C-alpha cells in the first residue's frame, strides 16, 4: 500500500465472519534462527508473511552466502531481527555491518552487545556507543560461559543469547538481574528450542543451555495473537460483533494470549473451539480498573484505545518498555488519544487513563509514527467515529500485511 493516508468508515457498525491470521511474527523469527543453527535439521511450517520475518530471512541468506567480502546487512525497522542477528552473526566467519532505519539506530543495543563481548564476541559501534550500526567480526571465541544481563529492559536480549547458546563451545548460562520483563517471550524461546531438541534448565534467575545439537524436527507456527488483539478491539467497538479466528490455541506459546482474559472486561467473550477461537460481543464488565502489561506490552496500545473509546477511566502498569519500541509508544498514545479528549498520565510507573472528556468527532486523523501497532490499534475507531484517517497505512506490513484487506472483508471501506 503506497497511499500517504486512508480514511476508514464502517457503514453498518456490525461485524461477522472468519479471519485467517498470518503466522506469529515472534514465533517465526525465533524459528528462523533455530533453523539456521540446526544445519538443516529443522524445518518450518506456516511462516509469517510479515515484513519483519521477510527481512530476517533475507538477512540470514546474506550472512550465509559464500562470499568472503565484508557484508552490509540492513535490517530496516525490524527490532527483533536486529537483536537476533546481533548474536547470530558472531557464529559466522566474516566481517559484517549490521544496520537499520534511522529509528533503529536510536534504539539501544548496548546491554546485548556487552553480554556478547563478555563471552568473546568482537563487536564495535560504527557511530554512537550503545546503538546500531554495529561492526561484527565472527567467529566468536568463547571465554566465559556465564553472562549477567538486566531483565527489565528487553526480553529480546535474553532470547537472542538463548538462541545461539547451544552452538557455543561451552554452552551458556544467563543470570537475569532484577525483574524479568515480558517473561512469556523468554518462555516461548525456550519452548521452541525444546521443539528442536535443545534442552535447558531454569533455576531461580539462571537459565543454562549446554552445548548440544538440534534434532530433526518441524516447527509449526501458530497464528499471531498480537494480530488477534485488533479483532478483539473490532468486536468490542462494534454495535454487534462475532468473529472466528482459526488456528489459535488455548495452550499457546505466545504471551499475547492474555488478550483473551483482558477483553472480558471490555465486552468480548472468547470461546476456544476445536479449530480456533470465537469472539462474541457481550456486556462490558467494569469491575476491574487496573491492568498490568508487564508480560504482554504489545497489547497495551490496543487496550488503551479501546478503553478511551468506551469512555473508561482505568489504570495501567508494565508499560516501561514502550518507550524504546518502534517509536516512544507512550508519547504517541498520549498525542493521538488526546485528539478526541482522552488523557494518559504517569504516576510512578502507573499510567492513568482519563476518558471523562472524550468526545466523538465526525472525523479524526491519526499519526502512526512509523509504528505498525499505532495504525492497527486506532483503525477500529472507525466503528465509533463517522470516519478515521490513518496516516502512513503501509506500516502494517511490518507484522500484518493483510490487515487492510481483512478489514474491508468485514465491512470497513476506504
Q: Where in the sequence numbering do the catalytic residues fall?
A: 298
Residue 17, H or E segment:
strand 14-18
What are residue 330's phi and psi, to 5 degrees? -65, -50
Q: How many CB atoms lie within 10 A of CB 345?
A: 11
Quick one: how far is CA 54 from the chain centroid? 15
Q: How far apart are CA 260 and CA 263, in angstroms?
A: 6
C-alpha cell at 162: 538463548
Q: How far apart are CA 220 and CA 274, in angstroms?
A: 17
C-alpha cell at 14: 456490525
221 Cβ contact partners less than 8 Å away, ≥ 6 residues apart: 23, 24, 27, 28, 31, 44, 45, 46, 47, 48
- The DSSP secondary-structure symbol of 65 reads S
C-alpha cell at 347: 504516576
Q: How far apart are CA 7 and CA 257, in angstroms?
A: 30
What are residue 82's phi and psi, to 5 degrees? -60, -50
What are residue 171's phi and psi, to 5 degrees? 65, -160
Amino acid at each position: 500500500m503506497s497511499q500517504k493516508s486512508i480514511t476508514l468508515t464502517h457503514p453498518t457498525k456490525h461485524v461477522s465472519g472468519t479471519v485467517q491470521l498470518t503466522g506469529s511474527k515472534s514465533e517465526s523469527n525465533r524459528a528462523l534462527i533455530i533453523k539456521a543453527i540446526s544445519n538443516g535439521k529443522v524445518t518450518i511450517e506456516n511462516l509469517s508473511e510479515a515484513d519483519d520475518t521477510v527481512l530476517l530471512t533475507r538477512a540470514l541468506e546474506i550472512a550465509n552466502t559464500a562470499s568472503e567480502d565484508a557484508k552490509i546487512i540492513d535490517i530496516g525497522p525490524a527490532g527483533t531481527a536486529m537483536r537476533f542477528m546481533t548474536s547470530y552473526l558472531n557464529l559466522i566467519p566474516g566481517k559484517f555491518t549490521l544496520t537499520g532505519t534511522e529509528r533503529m539506530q536510536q534504539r539501544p543495543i548496548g546491554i546485548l552487545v556487552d553480554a556478547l563481548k563478555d563471552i568473546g564476541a568482537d563487536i564495535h559501534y560504527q557511530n554512537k556507543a550503545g546503538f546500531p550500526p554495529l561492526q561484527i567480526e565472527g567467529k566468536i571465541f568463547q571465554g566465559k560461559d556465564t553472562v549477567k544481563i538486566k531483565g527489565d529492559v528487553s526480553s529480546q536480549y535474553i532470547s537472542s543469547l538463548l538462541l545461539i547458546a547451544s552452538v557455543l563451545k561451552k554452552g551458556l548460562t544467563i543470570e537475569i538481574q532484577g525483574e524479568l520483563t515480558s517473561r512469556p517471550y523468554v518462555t516461548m524461546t525456550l519452548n521452541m528450542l525444546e521443539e528442536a531438541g535443545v534442552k535447558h534448565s531454569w533455576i531461580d534467575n539462571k537459565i543454562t543451555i549446554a552445548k548440544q545439537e538440534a534434532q530433526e524436527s518441524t516447527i509449526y507456527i501458530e497464528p499471531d495473537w498480537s494480530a488477534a488483539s485488533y479483532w478483539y478491539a473490532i468486536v468490542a467497538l462494534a454495535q454487534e460483533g462475532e468473529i472466528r479466528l482459526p488456528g489459535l490455541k488455548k495452550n499457546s506459546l505466545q504471551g499475547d494470549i492474555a488478550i483473551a482474559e483482558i477483553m472480558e472486561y471490555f465486552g468480548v467473550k472468547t470461546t476456544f473451539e476445536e479449530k480456533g477461537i470465537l469472539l462474541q460481543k457481550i456486556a462490558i464488565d467494569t469491575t476491574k480498573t487496573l491492568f498490568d502489561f508487564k508480560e504482554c506490552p504489545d497489547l497495551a496500545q490496543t487496550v488503551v484505545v479501546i478503553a478511551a473509546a468506551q469512555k473508561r477511566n482505568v489504570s495501567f502498569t508494565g508499560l516501561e518498555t514502550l518507550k524504546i519500541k518502534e517509536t516512544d509508544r507512550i508519547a504517541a498514545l498520549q498525542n493521538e488519544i488526546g485528539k478526541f479528549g482522552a488523557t494518559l498520565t504517569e504516576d510512578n510507573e502507573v499510567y492513568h487513563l482519563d476518558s471523562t472528556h472524550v468526545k466523538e468527532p465526525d472525523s479524526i486523523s491519526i499519526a502512526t509514527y512509523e509504528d505498525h501497532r499505532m495504525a492497527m490499534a486506532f483503525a477500529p475507531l472507525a466503528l465509533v467515529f463517522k470516519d478515521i484517517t490513518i496516516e502512513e497505512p503501509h506500516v502494517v506490513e511490518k507484522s500484518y500485511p493483510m490487515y487492510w484487506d481483512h478489514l474491508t472483508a468485514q465491512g470497513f471501506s476506504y
